[in-house]
Amino acid sequence: QHFFSNSLPLEGKRALVTAGPTHEAIDPVRFIGNHSSGKMGYAIASALQSLGATVTLVSGPTQLPTPPKVNRHDVTSAQEMLEACSSHFETADIIVMSAAVADYTPVSVASQKIKKKDTNLEIALKKTTDILATLGKKKTTKQTLVGFALETENELQNAQDKLQRKNLDYIVLNSMQDKGAGFGGDTNKVTMIDRKGETQQFELKSKKDVANDIAAVIIAHQAAINS
Ligand code: CTP
Ligand code: CA
């Protein structure tokens, strides 16, 4: 292998990364969304590309520029994200689902703008398909599947349960406790958990550096798969 020491560690690998929120239409002018900026997912896409991977970034609505040499596939809703991910999944060696996918979407989209009335308004919602769990069911032993978890209580246990339930190789737990971590900002603090339940806690750092920490874990996993 050292004959190719000039090559990058993820040369020849394909990666699928999701980022940003999804927007679930209520009517032609309104949607249900969340505060995800997409910065973490874009940083991961950029890191994997820099390390040699061919990267497809399935992105919900964000204000961010496309990272250099990354193939960006824009989507709006959870259903569109599912379809985009399904079409790129089989050829991907590495899949990182950092998008903040809506858990619920309106049962129906009003064809005209909903007019206000004197009564309260109720919007019926149905569950979206869990994209990560869907991909987890199809995962092969050659693939590295990474999910994210956002918890406000019982964090480690809930994250580990998600990893098992969705058949992931790793789950990245976003710490909500620390200032400077999570939505919107340029820094994050994460813990990575593997299938054995072993945890690796990282310091508060820039999302770029967090992305490289996650990429390093992925590189080690891919190397173990191929050895
Ligand atoms: N996820 C997904 N499809 C959904 C919902 C979530 O692929 N419809 C993915 C997210 O991208 C993330 C992981 O599942 O990688 C965990 O998301 P999170 O919201 O923390 O967990 P949920 O399983 O949705 O459970 P809950 O929101 O109830 O904690
Ligand atoms: Ca959720």
Across the chain, what does the average pLDDT equal? Answer: 95
pLDDT on residue 5? 63
Write out pLDDT tens, residues 143-189. Answer: 999 999 999 999 999 999 999 999 999 999 997 766 677 777 899 99
pLDDT at 55 over 90: yes
- Please tell me the distance from the alpha carbon of residue 93 to that of residue 72, in angstroms, as a whole number: 17
Residue nearest ligand 1's atom 9 by CA: 132
- Please tell me the distance from the alpha carbon of residue 4 to that of residue 159, in angstroms, as a whole number: 38
pLDDT at 4 over 90: no
Give the global pTM: 0.95
The answer to whether 166 is annotated as binding is yes
The answer to whether 3 is annotated as binding is no
Q: Which of ligand 1's atoms lies nearest the C-alpha of 147? A: 15
Q: Which of ligand 1's atoms lies nearest the C-alpha of 148? A: 15
Distance from residue 101's CA to the centre of ligand 1 (Å):
6
Average pLDDT over residues 52-61: 98
The answer to whether 89 is annotated as binding is no
**What's CA 136's distance to the chain center, in Å?**
13
Write out pLDDT tens, residues 69-87. Answer: 999 999 999 999 999 999 9
Residue nearest ligand 1's atom 3 by CA: 130
Write out pLDDT tens, residues 9-27. Answer: 999 999 999 999 999 999 9
Residue nearest ligand 1's atom 18 by CA: 149
Does residue 6 or residue 8 have the better pLDDT? 8
Q: 127: which 2 tokens?
A: 């569950």
Could you tell me which of 50, 144, 129 has the C-alpha nearest to residue 96? 144
ipTM value for the complex: 0.98
Active site residue 154: no
Q: 84 CB under 6 A from ligand 1?
A: no
pLDDT on residue 93? 98
Could you tell me which of 67, 56, 64, 60 has the C-alpha nearest to residue 16? 56
pLDDT on residue 139? 98
Q: 131 CB under 6 A from ligand 1?
A: yes
Q: 103 CB under 6 A from ligand 1?
A: yes
- pLDDT band per the 50, 70, 90 thresholds, residue 2: low
Write out pLDDT tens, residues 88-137. Answer: 999 999 999 999 999 999 999 999 999 999 999 999 999 999 999 999 99
| From 6, 34, 174, 188, the catalytic residue | 34
Average pLDDT over residues 186-206: 96
Average pLDDT over residues 202-214: 97
Query: Which listed ligand is nearest to 104 at the C-alpha?
Result: 1
Cα four-point dihedral sign 185, 31, 58, 154: positive
